[in-house]
Every structure is written in C-alpha cells, then in structure tokens.
Amino acid sequence: MNIKLVFSVVLFSLVSSQVAAKPDQRGLIDSPELQTELWLKLQREGTLKSEYAQTATPTERELAMQRLLESYKYPIPEYFDEADGGEFER
C-alpha cells in the first residue's frame, strides 16, 4: 500500500505541475531533462522516502553479489547489430 501512496503522490505532483504551468511553458515540463531534474530533486530531498528502512537479508545480499559476479562472465561486444535484436528507426 505504501508503494501505491508514493506513486500517487508523485503522479499528482507531476500532473499538478503540468496544470500550474503557463501554456507556453507546458512543453518544457515534458522535456526529459526537466523530468530527470525533478526525480533527482525528490531523491535528494527525501520528501517521498519510506518510513521503513529497506534492508536486505544476508541471503539476498549474497544472491545479488552472485548475480553481479556472473554478469562479468559475458564479454561486451564491440558493436551491436540491428539483426541481433531490437529496432532502430532512422
């Protein structure tokens, strides 16, 4: 339920800032840079932080470390080809 509350508050703040903006500035709110700055501000200020500390058990930490170490077993290719997957619009 906490996640729903946090999501609702963030969504409400984004919508209300969109409505409160002047008509000529609404395009600026949709810019990725401004959205990124908004999220970083929320993280930095901790205004939407949880009341409960999110801790991981030793087992969870060990599994996370194993996933990290497993990821180093696969080489990073020099380039990615469109035929290998994904789409690219020109």
Whether 76 is in a domain gets the answer no
Is pLDDT at 74 greater than 80 in this prediction?
yes
Range of the domain at 4: 1-48
Whether 63 is in a domain gets the answer no
pLDDT category at 82 given cuts 50, 70, 90 is: low
Whether 22 is in a domain gets the answer yes
Summary mean pLDDT of the chain: 78
- Cα torsion at 76, 90, 82, 70 (round to 10°)? 30
- Assess contact for 21 and 29: CB atoms under 8 A: yes
31-68, pLDDT tens digit by residue? 888 999 998 999 899 888 888 888 999 999 999 999 99
Whether 27 is in a domain gets the answer yes
Whether 80 is in a domain gets the answer no
Our count of domains for the chain comes to 1
Whether 33 is in a domain gets the answer yes
Reported pTM: 0.36
Q: What is the DSSP string of 26-61?
A: HHHHTSHHHHHHHHHHHHHHTTT--SS-----HHHH
